[in-house]
A and B are shown apart, each in its own frame.
Chain A
Amino acid sequence: MDIQIQDSKHWMGARLERKEDLRLVSGQGKYLADIVLPGMLHAVFVRSEYAHARITGIDTSAARAMPGVVDVITGEEIKAHVKSMRQPVLLPNLPAKYPDYHALAVDRVKFHGEPVALVIARDKYLAEDAAEMVVVDYEELPVVVDAEKALAPGAPQIHDEQPGNEMFAMTFTGGATPEEQQRNDEEVERIFKSADVVVSHRFRVHRTGITPMEPRGVLCDWNMSDGLTAYITTQRPHIDRLALIDILDIPGEKVRVIAPRDQGGGFGVKAPFFRENVVISYAARKIGRPVRWIESRYESLMNVGQERDQINDLDVAATKDGKLLAMRNRGIANNGTGQTGVYWGFVMPFLGQVEMPNVYTWEKGDVKLRVATTNKACLTPSRAFGHLPTRFALERSVDMVARRIGMEPSDLRRKNMVPKLPYTTITGEYYDSGDFLKVWDNLMTNIDLPAFRREQAAARAQGRYIGIGFACGAELSGVASELLVPMENQPGYGAATVRIDPRGKVLIFGGDAPGGQGHETTTAQVVAAVFGINPADSVVTTGDTGSTPFGAGTIGARAGSYFVSAVHKACSELKEKITHVMAHDFGLRATAEEFAFTNGDVIYLRDPSKRKTFREIVERIIMFPVNLPEGEVGGLEATAFFEAAKPMICFNADFCIVEVNPDTGEFKIKRWVTSEDVGNVINQNIVDGQMHGAIVQGLSNVIFEEFIYTDEGQQLTADFENYKMATAADVPDIELTYASTPCPHTPLGTRGIGEGRPSSIPGALCNAVCDALSPFGIEITELPLRPSSLWAKIRDAKAARS
C-alpha cells in the first residue's frame, strides 16, 4: 500500500504548473468574445438615463432605417412574447417580497442603466450608432437612493409589491416564533444592562464589489431542430438553462447553455441569472441568426458587481476581563431595485447577518436585518458574499472592547474563540471542523507583540504613528444543500462524470463553470493521485450543459470541497471495478485495497509480478468485455454526487502593520501576514494565488473602489478612471502561513477556499490604522478608508484635544 500512498502524496499538494496556462499565456484562450459563429449579428442595449422615470414613448424608426440594422426590440415586445423574470426556478425559499419585472423595462425604468431596448445590426459599430438613434421619452419620477429614506414613510414607491420599499426583513436569533424571539431579545437586553462594557456604533460600508476583468457576454444561436444554444459568461450554466427553459417557454431538450472554458473571472458577479440572457435568446430565436452581446465596461459598472452597501448598528456587551457576552445588530441593506434572478440582491445581506457572530462564543445575540429597495442597480454577489460589512463591524467592535478594557485585541480574540468544533453559532451557522486556536497561535508566531509595542512607543516619541491590526474569519467551504436550498432554491451537491478512455486517458465532466480557479489542474491532480497516472493524462470539461452532470455552479468555494470530492468518488467507483476485473483475470480472491495504482501501473501488492498497465486494464474492460467476472459489464464511466452531511468551513486570520502620516492621513501597509486553515492542499500555488487575490480585493474595496450615485440616482463611476481599482503599485506583498486541519467530511481532507477570504481585510486594516492613531482616540466606523477622511478625523481629534 505504501506505493499508492507515495503516489498520492506526489500529486496532492504539488506546485504543479497549471494545464490552463499554456493556452492562456500564448493568446489562445477562448473567452466568450472570441467565439464567432457564421452569420453572427451584434447587439447593443439602450439603457435608461434616469434612475426612476415613466417611459412615455420609444421611437425606433430612425434606428431601424439605418443600413445594416436588423431589428430593434423593446420591452413591450418582450412582454408580449416572453414570460416575466419572476419564475419559481429563480426564487429563493426565503420570505421576501419579490418584484416582478420583464427582461427589458416596461412602462417604467427604476435605475440608471436599466435595459430599455436592444438594437441588432450586422456590425458592432453600426449597432452602437443605431442605439444612439433610439429615442426614448421619459417622464421623471421621484428618486430615492438612500436605504433609510426609502424605508421612511412617504418615500417614493418603487415596486408595487413592496409597500414601504421593504423587500425583506428577518430576525436571525432567538428561535423560530416571534414569542421566542421576543423572550430572547429581552434576555439580550438584560445582559446589556448589567454588562461591564458596552460598545455601540453605526458601521457603514459603501457600495463596492468585485469587478471581473472580463465583462459579461451572451451569444445565442437558434435553429428549429436543436433549439437554443446559449453561450453565456456564467458561473452556473445549469441554472441558466432551467431559467431560459421556463422564461422563454422552450422545451428542455431544446436548450443548451455553454459557459466558455475560459472566463475572465467571476467572483460572484457572474452567478445570478441576468435579464440580458433572456433578451439575446429571444432575439436569436426571432431573427433566426446568431446574436452576440458583449458588455462594455461602462454597462458592467452600471449594472453589476455592486455589493456591500450596508449599515450595521452593532452593540457588543463584554465583561471587564474581556469575555464577550452578547451582540445586538440592526442591519439595513441598500438592495437597489432587487431585480436579479437567483439572489434578488437581498440574499447577500441575509447571509451577511448569518455570518455576523464569526468565530467567537456569545451567550446571546439579537440580530435583525431590513432590506430596502432603492433606485440603484440591484446588488450582485461579490466574493465575501454579504458579510464584508458585518465582519468589518464586528472585528472593529472587538478591538474597541479591547481598547476600553486595556487588553491586547489579539488576546481578546483568542480568549473568545470557539475552542472546539463542531459548533453552532447564535445565528444557527454550523462550523464543522478545524482548530481556530491552532490557526491563531500560528499567526502570532509571526510577530513579537511586546517588542512591537516597544517599537510603537519609540516611534510615537519621534512623532511617527505605527499600528498593528488583527482580524479573522470563518468562511463557507462550499455551500451545502441545507443552506443552498433555502437561499437559492437549488441543490448544493457536487457532481462529476469520469470517463476512462481506452487509451488510458481520463475525461472529467463537471457542470460548474470556473473563471480562473484552475479546475483543470486540481482535478487532474486528484485523478492522478487516485489512478496513479500523470495529471497530463486527464482532461476536464466544464460548463456545457450538453455534456456535464447538473452542477450548482462555481460559487462559494465549491471546487475544493464539493467538486473534487465528487470527482474522487466517481474515480473510486471505477477503481473498484478495475480491481474487480483484475482480480478475476489473475484468478485472485483479492479486495480493491490489495491493488496499488501507481506510475501508470495497477499492481497486486501481495505478488507484484501480477500487474498490468493502467492502459491495458482499462482498454480490456472498455474494448474487450468478454470473460468478465459474473455480473460485471464492460465500460468505464461513472457519475458521482457528493454531499457532506453538514455545511463545512475554512478559517483564516490576518494581521497587518501600518504607518499613518498624521499630517496628511496617508497610510502605508508595511506588512501583511496571514494564517490559514485550508485543509489538505491539492495545488499550493493555486491556494496561495486565491489568498493573494482575495486579500488584495479586500484592500481595493476598502481603500479605493466606490460606486457613487447622486441624490438623483445618477451613477458617476461607470469607468475605471472613476471606479478606481488597486494597481500593483498600490498594494503590499503578502506573507501567507498555514496551520491547516484536514477536513474530516471530504474524502481527501480538502476544504473549499477563497470565496469569503476578503471579509477579514477591512477589520484588520482599520484596526491597524486605529491602533496607530490610538493617541488621538480615532475609531473608524465607515468605509471607504481614505486619507482625506482620516486626515479630517485627526484634525478634529487634535482640535478637541487643544
Chain B
Amino acid sequence: MQTVKITVNGALYEETIPARMLLVDFLRDRLALTGTHVGCTHEGVCGACTIHLDGEAVKSCMMLAVQADGHAVTTVEGLARNQELSVLQKSFREHHGLQCGFCTPGILMNMTDFLARHPNPSDEEIRQGLIGNLCRCTGYVHIVKAVREASKTLASTAG
C-alpha cells in the first residue's frame, strides 16, 4: 500500500492504495468518476479510458495510479465548467457525434488535447488524431464533423 496525492478535476485526493492499482481503477472505483471507461483488456487500443495527465491526453489503463502521484488529472467529468459544457462537448451533441456514448469520454479527452495542438485541423488530420480511439457505432463520420465544427467555433471565439 502506498499513499498518493493526486489532483483530479481540481480537487486534491490523498489516498492509500495498492501499488498495483491502475489509474483507471483509482478514478472509477476510488473516486467514483465512472465517466472514464474500460473497453479493452488494458492494451491501450480502444482509448475509452483516455484522460489528461498534466494537460496531456493519456490512457489511464496503461498507468498505475502511483505514477500519477503529485500530478494533476482531468477526466471527462472535469470538461464542463460551472455546469456549462465545453465547446467540443456541445459540438458532439449538436452533430450527433455519439451513439452509445461508451467511447465518447475518451474521444472528448483526446480531441480536447488535439484541438489545443491543432487549432485548424483538416479532416484528414482529425482522422489521424483519432486513431487511438475506437468507435463501433458512428463510423466516425459525425465525430469528425463534431471536431471540425468545434475547431471553427473555438477559432471564432478566440479571434
In Å, the complex CA distance between A515 and B101 comes to 9
Contact (Cβ within 8 A) B46 A265: no
- Closest CB of chain B to A443's CB: distance in Å? 19
Q: Give the residues from 51 to 102 in chain B that come closer than 8 angstroms, CB to CB, to chain A.
A: 75-77, 79-80, 85, 89, 92-96, 98-102
Contact of A727 with B by CB under 8 A? yes
Give, as a whole number of angstroms, the nearest-CB distance from B102 to chain A: 3
Instruction: Tell me how far the C-beta of B76 lies from the nearest C-beta in chain A, rounded to whole angstroms.
Output: 4
Chain A contacts for B139, CB-based, 8 A: 689, 692-697, 731, 734
Within the assembled complex, what's the spacing in Å between the Cα atoms of A731 and B141? Answer: 9
Interface centre among A15, A721, A727 (most CB of B within 10 A): A727
Judged by a CB distance under 8 angstroms, whether A424 is at the interface is no
| B95: chain A residues within 8 A (beta carbon) | 685
- In angstroms, Cα B102 to Cα A296, docked, is 15
Contact across chains for B108 and A31 when beta carbons are under 8 A apart: no
- Whole-angstrom CA separation of A480 from B25 in the bound complex: 44
Please, how many angstroms separate the alpha-carbon atoms of A686 and B99 in the complex? 8
Give CA–CA (A516, B135) in the complex, Å: 12
When C-beta atoms are compared, the residue in chain A nearest to B102 turns out to be A264
Instruction: Take A27-B75, A685-B96, A721-B43 as given contacts and tell me if A210 and B136 are in contact as well, using a CB distance cutoff of 8 Å.
Output: yes
| Residues of chain B lying within 8 A (CB to CB) of residue A689 | 96, 99, 137-139, 141-142
With the chains together, A28 CA to B33 CA distance in Å?
9
The residue on B at minimum CB distance from A24 is B101
Q: Are B136 and A729 in contact (CB under 8 A)?
A: no
B6 in contact (CB, < 8 A): no
Of A106-114, A212-220, A470-478, A488-496, the stretch lying at the interface with chain B is A212-220
Minimum C-beta distance from A704 to chain B (A): 11
Assembled-state Cα–Cα distance A213/B20 (Å): 25
> Is B155's beta carbon under 8 Å from chain A?
no
Which chain B positions have C-beta within 8 A of A693? Answer: 99, 136-139
Q: Mark B125-155, 1 if CB is under 8 A from A, else 0.
A: 0111011011111111111100000000000
Tell me the smallest distance from the CB of B114 to a CB of chain A, in Å. Answer: 12
Asked if B98 contacts A21 (CB within 8 A), the reply is yes
Complex Cα distance, B38 from A214, in Å, reads 8
* A29 lies within 8 A of chain B by Cβ: yes
- Which of A15, A27, A31, A125 has its CB near the most chain B CB atoms (within 10 A)? A27
B23 CB–A CB distance under 8 Å: no
The reply to whether B99 and A518 contact each other, CB–CB distance below 8 Å, is: yes
B134 x A516 contact (CB < 8 A): no
| Nearest A residue to B83, CB-CB | A26
Bound CA span A26–B94, Å: 14
Q: Is the CB of B35 within 8 A of A21?
A: no
Q: Could you say which residues of chain B place their CB within 8 Å of the CB of A215? A: 39
Report B-chain residues with C-beta under 8 Å of the C-beta of A263.
Answer: 100
How far, in whole Å, are A210 and B137 apart by their CA atoms in the complex?
10
Interface positions of A from 515 to 530, Cβ below 8 Å from B: 515-518
- When the two chains form their complex, are residues B77 and A26 in contact, meaning their CB atoms are under 8 A apart? yes
Tell me if A33 counts as interface (CB < 8 A to partner B): yes
User: Measured between alpha carbons, how far is A734 from B45 in the docked complex, in Å?
Assistant: 25
Give min CB distance, A243 to chain B, whole Å.
24
A132 at the interface (CB under 8 A from B): no
Shortest beta-carbon distance, B31 to chain A, in Å? 12
Query: For the complex, is A321 an interface residue (Cβ under 8 Å from B)?
Result: no
Is B14 an interface position by the 8 A CB rule? no
A18 at the interface (CB under 8 A from B): yes
- In the assembled complex, the CB of B65 is this many whole angstroms from the nearest CB of chain A, namely 12
Residues of A within 8 A of B18 (CB): 125
Closest Cβ of chain A: how far from B74's Cβ, in Å? 11
Contacts of B140 in A (CB 8 A): 692, 696, 727-728, 731
Q: Which of B20, B39, B76 has the most CB of A within 10 A?
A: B39
Which residues of chain A are near B94, meaning CB under 8 Å? Answer: 17
> Counting chain B CB atoms within 10 Å of each CB, which of A31, A214, A694 scores highest?
A214
A176 to B137, CA, bound (A): 40
Which residue in B20, B33, B92, B134 is a CB contact (below 8 Å) of A21? B92
- Assess A31 versus B99: contact at CB under 8 Å? Given A689-B137, A733-B141, A734-B141: no
A22 interface hit (Cβ, 8 Å):
yes
- Contact between chains at B101 and A264 (CB < 8 Å): yes
Q: How far is the CA of A798 from the CA of B118 in the complex (A)?
A: 45
Is A25 interfacial (CB-CB < 8 Å)?
Answer: yes
Interface of A is mostly: loop
Q: Which residues of A contact B45 (CB under 8 A)?
A: 719-721
Q: A264-B37, A689-B99 are in contact. Are A211 and B76 (CB under 8 A)?
A: no
Q: Does B8 contact A (CB under 8 A)?
A: no
Q: A688 at interface (Cβ–Cβ under 8 A)?
A: yes
Cβ contact within 8 Å between B104 and A296: no
Is B12 an interface residue when CB atoms closer than 8 A count as contact?
Answer: no
A272 to B18, CA, bound (A): 38
Closest to B88 in A: A25
Are B77 and A725 in touch, CB under 8 angstroms? no
Partner of A27, one of B34, B41, B99: B34
Q: How far is the CB of B119 from chain A (nearest CB, A)?
A: 19
CB of A166 within 8 A of chain B?
A: no
A34 at the interface (CB under 8 A from B): yes
Report Cα–Cα, A688/B145, bound state, in Å. Answer: 13
A20 CB within 8 Å of chain B: yes
Indicate if the CB atoms of A725 and B134 lie closer than 8 Å. Answer: yes
CB distance from A801 to the nearest CB of B (A): 37
Q: Give min CB distance, B122 to chain A, whole Å.
A: 12
Q: A27-B36, A212-B136, A725-B136 are in contact. Are A262 and B101 (CB under 8 A)?
A: yes
A210→B135 CA distance, assembly (Å): 11
| Interchain CB contact under 8 A, B40 and A727 | no
* Docked CA distance A727–B108 (Å): 16
Indicate if the CB atoms of B40 and A719 lie closer than 8 Å: yes
**Which residue in A25, A297, A695, A696 is a CB contact (below 8 Å) of B108?**
A25
- Chain B, residue nearest A295 (CB): B41
Give the shortest distance, in Å, between A683 (CB) and chain B (any CB).
9
Interface status of A298 (Cβ within 8 A of chain B): yes
Q: Which residues of A contact B133 (CB under 8 A)?
A: 727-728
- Residues in A neighbouring B46, C-beta threshold 8 A: 213, 297, 720
A679-727 with Cβ < 8 A to chain B: 685-686, 688-689, 692-697, 719-721, 725, 727
B34: A residues at CB distance < 8 A: 27, 30-31, 33-34
Distance between Cα atoms of A27 and B103 in the complex (Å): 11
Knowing A215-B39, A264-B37, say if A697 contacts B136 (CB, 8 Å).
Answer: yes
Per the bound structure, the CA–CA distance linking A685 and B33 in Å amounts to 30
Task: Contact check, A727 vs B137: say whether CB atoms are below 8 A apart.
Answer: no
Q: CA A290 – CA B121 in complex, angstroms?
A: 48
A199-231 contact mask (Cβ, 8 Å, vs B): 1 or 0? 000000000001111110000000000000000
Tell me the nearest residue of chain A to B128, going by C-beta. Answer: A729
B43 → A minimal CB distance (Å): 5
**Chain B's nearest CB lies how many Å from the CB of A304?**
13
Distance to closest chain B CB from A298 (angstroms): 4
Interface string of A3-31 (1 = CB under 8 A from B): 00000000000010110111011111111
Are A26's CB and B134's CB within 8 A?
Answer: no
A515 touches B43 (CB 8 A): no
Lowest 4 A-B CB distances belong to which pairs? Answer: A27-B35, A516-B100, A264-B102, A696-B139
CB-defined A-B contacts under 8 Å, sample of 30:
A17-B94, A22-B93, A24-B104, A25-B92, A26-B76, A26-B85, A26-B89, A27-B33, A27-B35, A27-B75, A27-B76, A28-B35, A29-B101, A31-B37, A31-B102, A214-B39, A265-B102, A265-B137, A688-B142, A692-B138, A693-B138, A696-B139, A697-B139, A719-B43, A720-B40, A720-B43, A725-B134, A728-B135, A728-B143, A731-B140
Question: Which residues of B are in contact with A by a Cβ distance under 8 Å?
Answer: 18, 20-21, 28, 32-41, 43, 45-46, 48, 75-77, 79-80, 85, 89, 92-96, 98-105, 108, 123, 126-128, 130-131, 133-144
* Seed contacts A31-B37, A297-B40, A693-B137; 5 additional CB < 8 Å A-B pairs: A17-B96, A34-B34, A685-B142, A696-B140, A728-B130
